[in-house]
Amino acid sequence: MKVVERFIRYAKIDTQSKENVKTSPSTDKQWKLAKLLEEECLQLGLKDVKLSEHGILTATLPANVDNKPVIGWISHMDTSPELSGANVDPQFIENYDGGVINLNEETTLDPSEFPELLNYQGQTLITTDGNTLLGADDKAGIAEIMAAIETFVKNPDLPHGTIRIAFTPDEEVGHGADHFDVEAFACDFAYTVDGGALGSIEYENFNAATGFVTIKGRGVHTGSAKNKMINASRLAFEFDGLLPSFDRPEYTEGYEGFYHLMKTEGTVEEAKLVYLLRDHDEDRFAWRKDYFAECANQLNRKYGSEAVSVQIHDSYQNMKEKVLPHYHIIQTALDAMESLEITPSVDPIRGGTDGARLSFMGLPCPNLFTGGHNFHGRYEFIPVPSMEKAVDLLVEIATRYAK
């Protein structure tokens, strides 16, 4: 089965995960894809195919060359809670001409807004129909891993060491590695296939935390509220105003960190805010958390109360320090790209990946491209040649470690 066929098959299965759910997977619908992939692994003749009680699927392609490193390939099955993953209807734009793509009557992919489209003129693109996300994050990664495995199965003379694969649930809600058994996975190192544009390889990611702000107000009748009312919703606006105006996702790039106001709710009596805190630099990240807490202290001093409270929960760390001591993993991927005439692009991840947590759990795990763009939304697209190159790259890396 070609990589595109696999991707379309997987994309049409709704696997959207859900925030703040204690069960794993967070949604029952993720089991459907997990069980399909389990069946496909068995059909390919893979060994040690196991679907855990927490929805993590692992399998092994045994080596045909002795005494070589054991490599892991990892992708996640869930899609983002930010937009529906139900009834995904992928559209094929053949021989893209560089113009505006009409996804539906209301939604367009316009190169004036998404200039990266122009890099793929003459290629076939897969887009959404404008109503849902596409799910290339990370069903493209799953399809590419499965296609690479199939390449080895159908070409038994291609040399490779033992290859372990894993597909996890709930990566999009920060729990993909919660129940991952690194010791049982038994790899020397691994790659997540969860990146973006053709050529990207990533081994630096944000340090990440979530900030929860709770504001207790005092409700008094508006006719007699003077010097008595404390409007929690107003204090919420004031708290947000204390954060640096340009430290927001829409104003930052590269290594620049941010505060992202993700959710608000409030009345006069109580307001709640949820923020994402992100920074690549560890010291700057610590400062960012301290400043966030100080904003609450400042408001409490101003109003002479303990109206504002803050909780900060760390999510994941920058994996750079855990990957760099094993730089051969990166160098091999870079060399493999160049041999395939792929221009490498080493970029910091402005987000997270299972690989970040796995690296701190003892499994060095940089991130390779899938080829996709504009993840988590209706403007998502992926060029077919980029997916095919991702398959070639996985095969090339494995054969290089088998020499």
How do residues 162-178 score in pLDDT, each as one tens digit?
Answer: 999 999 999 999 899 99
Residues 242 and 342 grouped into a single domain: no
Last residue of a domain, one of 269, 286, 315: 315
Mean pLDDT of the chain, nearest integer = 96
Q: What is the domain extent for residue 224?
A: 207-315
CATH code, 285: 3.30.70.360
pTM: 0.88
Domain-terminating residue out of 264, 284, 315 = 315
> Among 315, 331, 362, which residue terminates a domain?
315
Catalytic residue list contains 78: yes
Which residue matches tokens 């796995």?
358
Mean pLDDT of 10-21: 95
Distances (CA, A) of 72 to 50, 78, 172, 368, 400: 15, 19, 20, 12, 14
Span 29-80, pLDDT tens digits: 999 999 999 999 999 999 999 999 999 999 999 999 999 999 999 999 999 9
Same domain, 175 and 266: no
- 20 — pLDDT class (breaks 50, 70, 90): confident
29 and 170, same domain (yes or no): yes
Which listed residue (40, 78, 194, 347) is catalytic?
78
- 259 vs 284: CA distance, rounded Å: 12
Alpha helix (H) ranges present in 210-352?
Answer: 232-242, 282-303, 320-323, 328-339
**Three-class SS state of 168:** strand
193 shares a domain with 258? no
Catalytic residue among 38, 171, 347, 392: 171
Is position 171 annotated as part of the catalytic site? yes
Is residue 213 within 8 A of residue 298, CB to CB? The reply is no
Same domain flag for 175 and 223: no
Domain count, the chain: 2
Phi, psi values for residue 300, rounded to 5°: -65, -40
Please tell me whether residues 148 and 226 are part of one structural domain.
Answer: no
User: Quick check: 215 and 307 in contact, CB under 8 A?
Assistant: yes
